Amino acid sequence: MFQLPPAAHIHLIAICGTAMGSLAGMLRERGFRVTGSDAHVYPPMSTFLAELGIQVQSGFDPARLEPAPDLVVVGNAVSRGNPEVEAVLDRQFPYASLPEVLRDLFLRGKRPVVVTGTHGKTTTTALVAHLLSQGGLDPSFLIAGLPRNFSRPFGLGKGEYFAVEGDEYDSAFFAKWAKFFYYLPEILIVNNIEFDHADIYEDLEAIEKAFRQLINLVPGRGLLLAGSGDPVLARLLPLALAPVQSFGLEEEAHWRAVQVEASPQGQHFTLCRQGEELGRFFLPLSGTYNIRNALAALGVGLGAGLRVEQLQEGLRSFAGVRRRQELLGVVGGITLIDDFAHHPTAVAQTLEGLRQAYAAGALWAVFEPASASNARAVFEAQYLQAFALADRVIIGKVPRPERARGDLPFSGERLAEGLRAQGKGAWHLPEVEAILAQLEAEVEPGDVVVFMSNGGFGGIQGRLQEALRRRYAA
């Protein structure tokens, strides 16, 4: 456990990531002097940190570590060879990973609600934080996204609960294991378990092992909320020593949604607890998977003592998270949506939700294979099925193909050919300009265009919006 003097100097290497930037803000609020460096310093994170009074410098330089900080936090995007990392090791400065600092300075003494799973972590964490906040419990939270109900992705409340997104990705170059092992889960949500992060995990068995160990960390007085209908998760639940409550649409689920009605505005459903109807709820998000996310959050809220009426109002007022089915606008009758989907299951679920919400018009899926796993061909066959509900599919280029390493690289052209063989309109267009030209020429009023990427995608979302505005203004 860290022993830091008041107003200690803490330096963050690679400060501009979403989680690292949020940690920097939390440290600043605790009264520490915070500095940071990153290779890419630009808005909105640079502006966000500047508003918090945090000095951030572009590039890495050992001179930033003079005089020596009391602690250096090393981001998981940083590797050996980084000049500041080499200086830290040479001079034996105290250093730690983000999840270590979060555990020892913020989570101890709280009741952590740790949200994990291959899909749905960010939205579910935001839902938990919002429901507890609306219920007057003043929670702390850390969300790896920009929740629309809060002005920033972190909060240090005075209440006993701390909602935190539990990532299965590795912690640092010196800690090649999942971040969620550090988070002291009293309430653990596991939405689902699938193979992902092919650069970290060799196969599904390796991921399953990590979740098996995580489940073993929940204390006997705690609670495990588990997504129902997931075969991998079902194998692990008998190992839990804490009470288990399942959630989902399956008949056996402890927390279950029935009588689901979808509309372009969202979804109505009835919440049941072990078969007992508790009330009618409205969720302003589409997709069955978002109902599952909401059920997990409602389970936390009811367990925390909130009333059904409080949770009904809280869920109704949930504004979502940026880049999670985010409605960018409607221009000339064309609906533009931005989404973070970067896994076949997430792509399929997002398209299912959009098809439910927008039944008419062509559904365009514009996909950037930007994740480390998508640099590899590992998911190509699954993507052939994942895009089934799209009418038109455009596949962009892999931004960092070197991350395939020795594996068979992903081929956008091969995927597009497979989709065309199924009778679907599909194109592999490596350049953003070509994608824009295709969309400008083909989209029509009534169509829905969803951009899917966990990267920047060359700013194509805003560029298409502006192009369509010019077209329809003319």
Residue 401 and residue 273 share a domain: no
pLDDT tens, 108-121?
A: 999 999 999 988 89
Cis status, amide bond into 44, omega within 30 of 0: yes
Count CB atoms within 10 A of the CB of residue 216. Answer: 12
Number of domains in the chain: 3
Residue 424 and residue 402 share a domain: yes
- Inside any domain, residue 104: no
Q: 13 - beta bridge partners?
A: 37, 74
- Inside any domain, residue 140: yes
Query: Considering only 92-96, 100-104, 202-206, which range has the smallest mean pLDDT?
Result: 202-206
Residue 258 and residue 125 share a domain: yes
Residue 184 and residue 159 share a domain: yes
Measured between alpha carbons, how far is 242 from 186 in angstroms, rounded to an integer?
9
Residue 353 and residue 307 share a domain: no
Q: Are strands 111-116 and 187-190 parallel, antiparallel or unpaired?
A: parallel
From residue 36, alpha-carbon distances to 61, 80, 104, 415 in Å are 11, 18, 20, 41
Assess contact for 65 and 87: CB atoms under 8 A: yes
Q: Is 295 in a helix, a strand, or coil?
A: helix
User: Containing domain of residue 55, as a range?
Assistant: 9-97
- Inside any domain, residue 465: yes
For residue 274 the two structure tokens come to 């072990």
Residue 322 has pLDDT above 90, yes or no: no
Residue 51 and residue 150 share a domain: no
- Inside any domain, residue 393: yes
- Highest-pLDDT range among 43-52, 237-246, 405-414: 237-246
pLDDT tens, 193-224?
A: 887 776 777 888 899 999 999 999 999 999 99
- Inside any domain, residue 321: no
Query: Considering only 68-77, 353-362, 448-457, which range has the smallest mean pLDDT?
Result: 353-362
Residue 458 and residue 403 share a domain: yes
Measured between alpha carbons, how far is 208 from 113 in angstroms, rounded to an integer?
20
C-alpha closest to that of 174 among 118, 105, 94, 57: 94
Residue 260 and residue 407 share a domain: no
Measured between alpha carbons, how far is 337 from 328 in angstroms, rounded to an integer?
5
Q: 190 - beta bridge partners?
A: 116, 226
Residue 427 and residue 312 share a domain: no
Report the residue count for the chain: 474
Domain boundary among 69, 97, 125: 97
Measured between alpha carbons, how far is 288 from 381 in angstroms, rounded to an integer?
23
Q: Is 76 in a helix, a strand, or coil?
A: coil
- Inside any domain, residue 407: yes
Q: What residues have CB less than 8 Å from 112, skipping those under 6 apart?
A: 161, 162, 164, 183, 184, 185, 186, 187
Residue 149 and residue 42 share a domain: no
Q: What is the pLDDT of residue 42?
A: 67
Q: Is 187 in a helix, a strand, or coil?
A: strand
Mean pLDDT over 152-161 rounds to: 95
Residue 288 and residue 364 share a domain: no
| Three-class SS of 190-257 | ECCCCCCCCCCCCCHHHHHHHHHHHHCCCCCCCEEEEECCCHHHHHHHHHCCCCEEEEECCCCCCEEE
Amino acid letter for position 117: G
Residue 308 and residue 208 share a domain: yes
Residue 327 has pLDDT above 90, yes or no: no
- Inside any domain, residue 67: yes
Q: What is the pLDDT of residue 124?
A: 95
Q: What is the CATH number of the domain that holds 420?
A: 3.90.190.20
Mean pLDDT of the chain: 91
pLDDT tens, 269-315?
A: 999 999 999 999 999 998 888 999 999 999 999 999 999 999 999 99
Q: Are strands 154-155 and 140-142 parallel, antiparallel or unpaired?
A: antiparallel
Q: What residues have CB less than 8 Å from 308, skipping those under 6 apart?
A: 271, 278, 279, 302
Domain boundary among 267, 295, 316: 316
Q: What is the CATH number of the domain that holds 288?
A: 3.40.1190.10
Assess contact for 36 and 28: CB atoms under 8 A: no
Q: What is the CATH number of the domain that holds 83?
A: 3.40.50.720
Q: What is the pLDDT of residue 52?
A: 87
